[in-house]
Amino acid sequence: MPMPPPKASTEGPRDRQVFHEMGQIVRALEANGPLTKERLAEVLGAAYWEANRFDRALALAVADGLVYLTDEGTLSAS
């Protein structure tokens, strides 16, 4: 008998939702231009996201090169 597929919580460090969140971050930066981390969180309503989801998605977006820190200290989409 075949094993059932693993639950979504075992998908690893990048679940499906984080890709959506990373996309929201990139789109917000494309639409609004460079923003501070605090302002980006406000624009996205990150206060209503699950705990640590914004920081995690932002860190992954930076690690993947989708977002970078400008010389002025703001975040921008690549």
Instruction: Provide mean pLDDT across the span 18-39.
Output: 96
The pLDDT, as a whole number, for residue 30 is 97
The pLDDT, as a whole number, for residue 72 is 93
Q: Is the pLDDT of residue 11 over 60?
A: no
Instruction: Confirm whether 10 is domain-assigned.
Output: no
DSSP 43: H
Instruction: Confirm whether 54 is domain-assigned.
Output: yes
Look up the domain containing 53 and give its range: 33-78
Number of domains in the chain: 1
| Confidence class for position 4, pLDDT limits 50, 70, 90 | low
The pLDDT, as a whole number, for residue 16 is 82
Question: Residue 41 has which token pair?
Answer: 């969180």
Instruction: Confirm whether 65 is domain-assigned.
Output: yes
78: nearest Cα among 21, 34, 18? 34
